[in-house]
Amino acid sequence: MRLGVNIDHIATLRSQRGTPYPDPVDAVPIVELAGADGITCHIRIDRRHITERDVRLIREITKTSLNIELCTDPDIVSFVCGVKPNHACLVPEREGEQTTEGGLDILTHREEIKKTIGVLKDAGIQVTLFIEPNESIMETAKQLGADAIELNTKAYCEASDNPLDNGREIEKLKRASIAAYEVGLEVHAGHSLGYHNLKGILSVPYIVELNIGHSIISRAVFTGLEEAVKRMLKLMGKNI
C-alpha cells in the first residue's frame, strides 16, 4: 500500500499571514526521503492555498510520483495538462468550502467528467475519481475512462468512536473496493485519515494507495515532518 502525502496545509499556514513561508515546495524532499511514495496537492479555483508557482516547482523536484487534485474547471484542467503530473484526481469543489465536502456525483455530471477525463488522459495523465464508497457506481466510473477511484473515507473517520457505525462504514468501503477492483479500477482511499483511525482501513481489500495530509502536517508541528511521515508509514506496516 502506497502513501501519498498531501502537502496543502503547509500552504494553508503560509496563507494565514501572507508570508512566503512556510513553502510547500520545501516539504517535497523531506517527505520523499522519509519514505513516502508520492506527493499530493490540490490547486483550487480560488488558489487560496496551492498556487501555480507551487505546482510548477513541486513538479520539477518531485522524484517519486505527483498527484494533483483538481475540479473540472477548464482553466485548471488546462494548467494541469501543461504541468503533466503522474496522476490527476478529480474532486468536487464548492466556493467557500473548508475542505472537500464529498465525492463526485459522477451520474449527474457524467458528460462533463467524461470530457475532462479525456482531456487529461490525452495529456498522458492517469486519472482518479474521488467518489463515495458506493458499489453501484463503480461500473460508471470505469465507463467514464477513469484509471482509479479514491474512496471518500470521511464517513468512516467520523464514525471511528462508535463501533457499530464504524463497522457499517468499513463494510461499505469493502464492498465498494471489491466492486471497483472487479471492473478493473485501481483503488485508493483518503479524507480525514489519521494515526488514530488508520487501522480499520488496512482491513479493506484491494486498496493500493492512501492519500493523507492534514493529520501528518498537524503532527509535524510537534515532531517534524520527517518523523510524522515515518510514523504513518510504520502504522501502514511499511518497512522504512
What residue ranges do the domains of the chain occupy?
A: 2-235
The pLDDT value recorded for residue 96 is 61
Q: 191: which DSSP letter?
A: S
Indicate if 112 belongs to the active site: no
The pLDDT value recorded for residue 136 is 96
Cα–Cα distance measured from residue 84 to residue 126, given in angstroms and rounded to the nearest whole number: 10
Of 43-47, 69-73, 120-124, 157-161, the one with minimum mean pLDDT is: 157-161
Classify residue 188 by burial, with Cβ atoms within 10 Å: 0-12, 13-18, 19+.
buried
Cα–Cα distance measured from residue 187 to residue 160, given in angstroms and rounded to the nearest whole number: 21
Classify residue 125 by burial, with Cβ atoms within 10 Å: 0-12, 13-18, 19+.
buried
Q: Where residue 106 falls among pLDDT bands split at 50, 70, 90?
A: very high
Residue 123 has pLDDT above 60, yes or no: yes
Give the helix/strand (H/E) hosting 87.
strand 87-90
The pLDDT value recorded for residue 95 is 66
Percent of the chain with pLDDT over 90: 90
Residues 6+ apart with CB under 8 A from 78: none
The pLDDT value recorded for residue 98 is 57
Q: What is the mean pLDDT of residues 114-132?
A: 98
Of 27-36, 124-133, 151-160, the one with minimum mean pLDDT is: 151-160
Indicate if 42 belongs to the active site: yes
The pLDDT value recorded for residue 168 is 94
Cell 492519500 -> residue:
211
> pTM for the full model?
0.95
Residue 169 has pLDDT above 60, yes or no: yes
Q: Is the Cα torsion angle 125, 130, 135, 141 positive or negative in sign?
A: negative
Q: 5: which DSSP letter?
A: E
Residue 100 has pLDDT above 70, yes or no: no
Whether the upstream peptide bond of residue 22 has omega within 30° of 0, thus cis, is: yes
Cα–Cα distance measured from residue 160 to residue 182, given in angstroms and rounded to the nearest whole number: 28
Q: What is the mean pLDDT of residues 211-215?
A: 97
Query: Average pLDDT over the chain, rounded to whole?
Result: 95
Cα–Cα distance measured from residue 21 to residue 5, given in angstroms and rounded to the nearest whole number: 19
Cell 518523523 -> residue:
227
Indicate if 196 belongs to the active site: no
Whether the upstream peptide bond of residue 24 has omega within 30° of 0, thus cis, is: no
The catalytic position among 9, 32, 49, 69 is: 69
Of 44-48, 129-133, 171-175, the one with minimum mean pLDDT is: 44-48
The pLDDT value recorded for residue 33 is 98
Q: 136: which DSSP letter?
A: G
The closest alpha carbon to 149, from 108, 100, 116, 190, belongs to 190
**Which residues is 188 bridged to in the sheet?**
150, 209
Fold observed for domain 2-235: TIM Barrel (3.20.20)
Instruction: Tell me which of 159 and 115 has the higher pLDDT.
Output: 115
The catalytic position among 9, 42, 49, 87 is: 42
